[in-house]
């Protein structure tokens, strides 16, 4: 008899971070790794359920909902205005979300006895921004991070950890070449920054707009599988 397809569990709340999340069901009895998935602005945690369902068995997959409610069932990690000079963010909100995610990762690692080196953060758009923000400023918490149609905030750079702390990280950048929300230049900047920081990473560009298309999904799942199955 075939195993049931993975599906999002009930919404839970973590008291230490104030974040809500769902654990993909059925969860592994003894997870070998942790994958935390983060939605984009105006979305919610179940937006990445299809991506979550593709993660290999044996990995605990957690879908996180941000605390900032922008509308009915619409959430964001921080508010942003798109101006002629580029995106302008509410930096205090981005910082609050970064710290909340660090606390949630700590909680999940402790609850399920998962090592930091076997923890991967990945997200779409703003979720990708926060994945990079946590990894680059608190690299002792994670082993890898993926930025899917996102960017690395210039405002984050003063907080980035020293190269010696970043050496173990692995990164993935996926971006659509026709992305008009966050143009391809943001992926190119992220690629250059990770080169400068000495972080091994994969950068892939797709014939798509601001979206998580099937090719990007397949590539990041393969990349996650390589990390979560590594010794």
What are 126-185's pLDDT values in tens digits? 999 999 999 999 999 999 999 999 999 999 999 999 999 999 999 999 999 999 999 999
The per-residue pLDDT for 206 is 98
The per-residue pLDDT for 5 is 81
Q: How far apart are CA 153 and CA 196, in angstroms?
A: 15
In this structure, the number of other CB atoms found within 10 A of the CB of residue 198 comes to: 11
Tally of CA atoms within 13 A in the half-sphere of 221 that contains its CB: 18
CA distance to 126, 144, 225, 231, per residue, from 76 (Å): 8, 22, 27, 35
The per-residue pLDDT for 3 is 64
- Is residue 211 over pLDDT 90? yes
The model's confidence at residue 227, banded by pLDDT at 50, 70 and 90, is: confident
In the predicted model, what is the mean pLDDT of the chain?
Answer: 95
In this structure, the number of other CB atoms found within 10 A of the CB of residue 205 comes to: 16
Kindly report which listed range (46-55, 83-92, 109-118) carries the lowest average pLDDT score: 83-92
CA distance to 4, 37, 73, 131, per residue, from 90 (Å): 42, 22, 21, 17
CA distance to 67, 192, 210, per residue, from 17 (Å): 9, 32, 29
Q: Are 149 and 175 in contact (CB under 8 A)?
A: yes
Name beta bridge partners: 83.
86
pLDDT digits (tens, 9 = 90+) for 7-31: 999 999 999 999 999 999 999 999 9
Average pLDDT over residues 48-57: 96
Q: Are 192 and 170 in contact (CB under 8 A)?
A: no
- Is residue 230 over pLDDT 80? no
The per-residue pLDDT for 231 is 35
Helix%, strand%, coil% for the chain, nearest 5: 40, 25, 35
């Amino acid at each position: 008899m075939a195993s049931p397809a993975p599906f999002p569990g009930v919404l839970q709340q973590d008291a230490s971070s104030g974040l809500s999340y769902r654990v993909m069901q059925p969860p592994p009895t003894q997870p070998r790794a942790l994958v935390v998935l983060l939605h984009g602005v105006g979305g919610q945690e179940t937006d990445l359920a299809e991506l979550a369902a593709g993660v290999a068995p044996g990995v605990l997959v957690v879908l996180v909902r941000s605390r900032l409610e922008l509308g009915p069932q619409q959430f964001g990690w921080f508010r942003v205005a798109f101006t002629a000079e580029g995106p302008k963010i509410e930096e205090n909100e981005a910082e609050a979300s970064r710290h909340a995610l660090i606390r949630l990762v700590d909680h999940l690692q402790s609850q399920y006895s998962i090592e930091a080196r076997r923890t991967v953060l990945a997200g779409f758009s703003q979720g990708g921004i926060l994945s990079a923000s946590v990894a680059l400023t608190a690299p002792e918490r994670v082993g890898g991070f993926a930025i899917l149609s996102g960017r690395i905030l210039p405002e984050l750079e003063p907080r980035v950890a020293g190269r010696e702390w970043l050496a173990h990280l692995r990164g993935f950048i996926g971006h659509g070449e026709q992305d008009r929300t966050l143009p391809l230049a943001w992926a190119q900047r992220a690629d250059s920054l990770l080169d400068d920081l000495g972080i091994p990473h994969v950068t892939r560009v797709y014939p798509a707009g601001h979206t998580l298309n099937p090719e990007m999904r397949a590539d990041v799942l393969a990349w996650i599988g390589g990390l979560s199955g590594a010794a």
